[in-house]
Structure 1
Amino acid sequence: MNHQNFAEEWIRAWNSHDLENILSHYAEDIEVTTPMIALATGGKENTLRGKEAVREYWRKALDKFPDLHFELIRSTAGVNSVALFYKSIMDKHAVEVMFFDGGGKINKMYAHYD
């Protein structure tokens, strides 16, 4: 799958608010690093490890932001990775860099916000 198709599919999954559809893009050993985790945990951590921890975090996020809607601005490809630039929640812009494992699932992701 090329990076633009992946980006459009990923955005559609998030905009559907279907947590299992969102999680289908991620490996069991996913590692997510984002400043939003610190906001949710009171500054205790910035990284979540494992699909179950990520599932619980995103379930709370989807509940907190029922009108969540992402808008893709641009996607770029790297070595076994993509970077997506999109309009996120709270009128923020985000860049997410996602790295893929051998099975084509995201196993590491870093998010950046303005």
Structure 2
Amino acid sequence: MNAKKFAEEWIKSWNSHDLEDIMKHYADDLEITTPMIKLAGGIESGSLSGKENVAAYWSKALSKFPDLMFELIDVTSGVNSVALYYKSIMNKKAVEVMFFDENGLVNKMIAHYTDL
């Protein structure tokens, strides 16, 4: 897998605000953990499971942040994983570590942000 190509496509999908295009990167058994879930979703654990649950959350987030625009800073790759470093919403910098299943889809994602 080409980490840079994935990162560029992922950023482009998010910047399009097209939820269907965004979700094409993710597996049905997706698990995500991000402080944004706690902050924006009020879910204390900061985690969600299942592609449908995540899509519903992201749909709300996209409507809450209509000017969302990510800017890729750097990307690194690991074993069946990538880490994207990018400028996120509210001018925060983020690192997202994404793990891929055997089909090349993200099935686990953990996000980190500069001070929220």
Whether these two folds match at TM > 0.5 is yes
Aligned residues between the structures: 114
Q: TM-score when scaled to structure 2?
A: 0.96
Opposite residue 105 of structure 2, the aligned amino acid is K
Counterpart of 1:107 in structure 2 is 107
CA distance in 1, matches of 2:44, 2:3: 33
Following TM superposition, the consecutive aligned residue runs of length 4 or more in structure 1 with deviations greater than 3 angstroms are none
CA distance in 1, matches of 2:41, 2:92: 20
Counterpart of 2:58 in structure 1 is 58
Counterpart of 1:73 in structure 2 is 73
User: Secondary structure in 2 aligned to 1:39?
Assistant: helix
Percent identity among equivalent residues? 68
Opposite residue 31 of structure 1, the aligned amino acid is E
Unaligned stretches of 5+ in structure 1? none
Opposite residue 23 of structure 2, the aligned amino acid is L
CA RMSD of aligned residues (A): 0.8
Q: Report deviation, 1:43.
A: 4.7
Unaligned stretches of 5+ in structure 2? none
Q: 1:23 to 1:43 in 2, by over 3 A?
A: closer
Contact 2:41 2:57 in 1 (8 A): no
Q: Within 5 Å, which residues of 2 pair with 1:12-51?
A: 12-51=12-51
Q: Report deviation, 1:44.
A: 2.4
Can you list the C-alpha shifts for 1:33-91, whole angstroms capped at 9, x where unaligned? 00110112335221100001001100000000000000000000000000000000001
